[in-house]
C-alpha cells in the first residue's frame, strides 16, 4: 500500500518529458534503479473505434478501489472529438479527488511504434510513482502489438461484432497474444456469432496443459454487469499469472526486450555518428571501434 500522496504535477511532467523524448534521449537517460513495487499492467487493444476508451473508462471506475490506478490512453480521437475518455473525465476526476485515479490521454502524434517504445518508459514511471495498477489503451492490431504485449501482464483484445476484425487480428498474430477477448458493442447484431468464432480459434491455439484459456466475453457500455465480468476476468488472469511460472518468463521477456531495444538504439546512434572514412576501414576494425564506442562512458552525453 502506498502511503505517500500522489504528486500529480511531478508525474504529469515526467510523462510529458518521456512522451516527447527521442529514442536516443531515452537510451541516454541514466539507468534506473528497480522500483519498490510493480503495478499490475493491463493492456486494452483493438481496432480504431472498437470502443476501447469507453470500456476503459467504465473499467477504471470499477477498479479504482483496488489502490492507486493509472490510465494511459493512446487516444487519437481525443484531439478532435474530446475522446470517450475525456468525455468521462469529469466523472473520473470527481472520483480521483477521493481515491487515487490518474488519467492521461496521449495523442498519437508519433508513429505507433515510437509511442509503443516510449510507453515502456512511461509504464516504468508509473511503477516509480507507486501505482498499484495501470490500464493502457493502445490502438490497433499491427506492428506495435508485440511491443505492447511484452509491456503488459494482461492483454485484452477488443473486437467488434461482424467487422472482419478477427481476420485482421489473426493475420497480425494477435489472437495468440491476447489473454482476454471482448466482443464489444454487444448491443449490435452479430456479437454472439463472433464470440463463438473466436472461442473456436482461441481454444485451438492454446492446447498446452495448464495454459490459460482466454475467455471470450461480450460487453457493452450500456450493460454495467458486462464490465464487472470483464473486471473479474482480469483478476482471474492476474491471479493465474501469480501462481504460474509464466510470470517469471514474462518478466524475463520484458527484460530481454528492454536490453535489445537499448542496444539497438545505442548501436544506431553510434553508427549514425560515423563519417564516410570510418566505413572504409576493414569490417572487423569497424566492429571493434563501434563496440568500443558503444561501451564508452562518453555515450551518455
Ligand atoms: N453501440 C455501441 N456503441 C458504443 C459502445 N461503446 C462505445 N461505443 C461508441 O463507439 C464509438 C467509439 O468509441 P471509443 O470508446 O472512442 O472507441 P475507441 O476504440 O477508444 O476509439 P479510438 O481510440 O479512436 O481507436 C463512440 O461513438 C462510442 O459512443 C457500445 O457498447 N455500444
Ligand atoms: Mg480510444
- The radius of gyration of the chain from alpha carbons, rounded to an integer in Å, stands at 21
> Is 190 near ligand 1, meaning CB less than 6 Å away?
no
Residue 230: the pLDDT is 98
pLDDT tops 60 at residue 111: no
Give the residue extent of every domain in the chain.
Answer: 8-244, 256-299
In sequence order, the 6+-apart residues with CB closer than 8 A to the CB of 93 are: 103
**pLDDT per residue over 34-78, tens digit each?**
888 889 999 998 888 888 888 988 898 889 888 899 998 876 554
**pLDDT per residue over 237-289, tens digit each?**
999 888 877 777 877 888 888 788 878 888 888 899 999 999 999 999 999 99
Q: Which of 43, 49, 57, 87 to mutate to test the pocket of ligand 1 (most atoms within 8 A of CB)?
A: 49
Q: Which of 54, 72, 221 to mutate to test the pocket of ligand 1 (most atoms within 8 A of CB)?
A: 54
Which of 195, 196, 197, 199 lies closest to 186 in space, CA to CA? 195
CATH top-level class for 8-244?
Answer: alpha beta
| Cβ-based burial of 270 (10 A; exposed 0-12, middle 13-18, buried ≥19) | middle
Query: 103 is written with which cell numbers?
Result: 488519467
pLDDT band at 3 (very low <50, low <70, confident <90, very high): low
Nearest CA residue ID for atom 13, ligand 1: 51
pLDDT band at 166 (very low <50, low <70, confident <90, very high): low
Q: Give strand ranges (E) for the chain.
A: 40-46, 69-74, 101-106, 133-139, 154-159, 180-183, 216-218
Nearest CA residue ID for atom 14, ligand 1: 51
Amino acid at each position: 500500500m502506498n502511503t505517500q500522496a500522489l504528486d500529480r504535477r511531478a508525474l504529469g511532467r515526467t510523462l510529458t518529458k518521456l512522451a516527447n523524448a527521442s529514442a536516443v534521449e531515452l537510451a541516454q537517460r541514466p539507468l534506473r534503479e528497480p522500483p519498490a513495487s510493480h503495478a499490475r499492467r493491463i493492456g486494452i487493444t483493438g481496432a480504431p473505434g472498437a470502443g476501447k476508451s469507453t470500456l476503459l473508462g467504465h473499467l477504471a471506475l470499477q477498479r479504482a478501489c483496488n489502490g492507486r490506478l493509472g490510465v494511459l490512453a493512446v487516444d487519437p480521437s481525443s484531439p478532435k472529438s474530446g475522446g470517450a475518455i475525456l468525455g468521462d473525465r469529469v466523472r473520473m476526476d470527481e472520483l480521483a479527488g477521493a481515491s487515487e485515479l490518474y488519467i492521461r490521454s496521449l495523442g498519437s502524434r508519433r508513429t505507433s511504434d515510437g509511442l509503443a517504445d516510449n510507453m515502456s518508459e512511461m509504464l516504468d514511471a508509473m511503477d516509480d510513482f507507486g501505482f498499484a495498477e495501470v490500464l493502457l489503451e493502445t490502438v490497433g492490431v499491427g506492428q506495435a502489438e508485440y511491443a505492447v504485449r511484452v509491456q503488459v501482464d494482461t492483454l485484452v483484445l477488443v473486437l467488434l461484432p461482424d467487422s472482419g476484425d478477427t481476420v485482421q487480428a489473426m493475420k497480425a498474430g494477435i489472437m495468440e497474444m491476447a489473454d482476454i477477448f471482448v466482443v464489444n458493442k454487444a448491443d449490435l447484431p452479430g456479437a454472439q456469432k463472433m464470440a463463438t468464432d473466436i472461442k473456436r480459434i482461441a481454444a485451438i491455439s492454446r492446447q498446452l496443459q495448464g495454459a490459460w484459456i482466454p475467455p471470450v466475453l461480450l460487453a457493452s457500455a450500456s450493460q454495467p454487469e458486462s464490465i464487472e465480468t470483464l473486471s473479474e476476468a482480469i483478476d482471474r488472469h492476474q491471479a493465474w499469472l501469480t501462481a504460474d511460472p509464466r510470470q517469471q518468463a514474462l518478466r524475463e521477456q520484458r527484460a530481454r526486450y528492454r536490453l535489445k531495444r537499448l542496444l539497438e538504439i545505442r548501436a544506431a546512434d553510434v553508427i549514425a555518428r560515423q563519417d564516410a572514412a570510418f566505413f572504409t576501414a576493414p569490417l572487423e576494425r569497424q566492429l571493434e571501434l563501434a563496440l568500443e564506442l558503444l561501451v564508452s562512458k562518453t555515450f551518455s552525453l
